[in-house]
Amino acid sequence: YGRDLFGSCMLTARRLVEAGVKFVGVTTESQLNGGIGAGQWDTHSNNFKLLKNFNLPTLDRNYSALVDDLADHGLLDTTLVVLMGEMGRTPTVNARAGRDHWPQCGFSLMIGGGIRRGHVHGTTDKQAAYPESHPVKVRDFVATIYQLMGIDPHMTVDDRQGRPIAIAQGGEPLFDVIG
């Protein structure tokens, strides 16, 4: 996993899953790293050096270790691993060699827990600016996760005034990605 906070968190996540914890969330840490800037994904400047020299090697090492470790412990088929950010990045580079927020097109990577292996759902235009096929709404992504967890995505819960609120906000599971 690596001798850093993110690696320790990923190893702890695997141990928590092994102990029966049903939901574990891990985020990457923000830290100075070798003088190239903050170790975060909000790369409004210095995007390419941050990705090449820190973010991607760290993510690759830890994500791969987690997936391999879950598989080695017989946990991958029953554990859904989701890798994502809250939005995409601009398809163009700004004046500070960075990429800014871009909610029109993002990504998610899902493995294990009932996901169909090797499936790519949807395509973008050649600049990765907009979806071209099979765009996914957040509510459909959430409904898919609920479906995989065995929770009815059409279920409602009552708010404090007793009004029913749909847990997936009307989303439909993406059955194409479910194995």
- Compute the half-sphere exposure of residue 5: CA atoms within 13 Å on the CB side of its CA: 9
Distances (CA, A) of 90 to 16, 25, 67, 85, 148: 36, 26, 29, 13, 31
pTM of structure: 0.88
**β-sheet bridge partners, residue 158:** 164
Dist. CA 64–CA 61, nearest whole Å? 6
φ and ψ at residue 114, rounded to 5 degrees = 105, 5
* Distance (Å) of CA 126 to CA 8, 81, 102, 107: 37, 28, 15, 15
Residue 121 CB-density burial (10 A; 0-12 exposed, 13-18 middle, 19+ buried): middle
User: What is the per-residue pLDDT for 38?
Assistant: 54
Q: Is residue 50 packed enough to be buried (19+ CB in 10 Å), middle (13-18) or exposed (0-12)? A: buried
Kindly give the confidence (pLDDT) of every residue in the chain, 179 residues in length, as a single tens digit, with 9 standing for 90 and above. Answer: 888 888 899 999 999 999 999 999 998 765 555 544 555 788 899 999 989 988 899 899 999 999 999 999 999 999 999 999 888 999 999 999 999 999 999 999 999 999 999 999 999 999 999 999 999 999 999 999 999 999 999 999 999 999 999 999 999 999 999 98
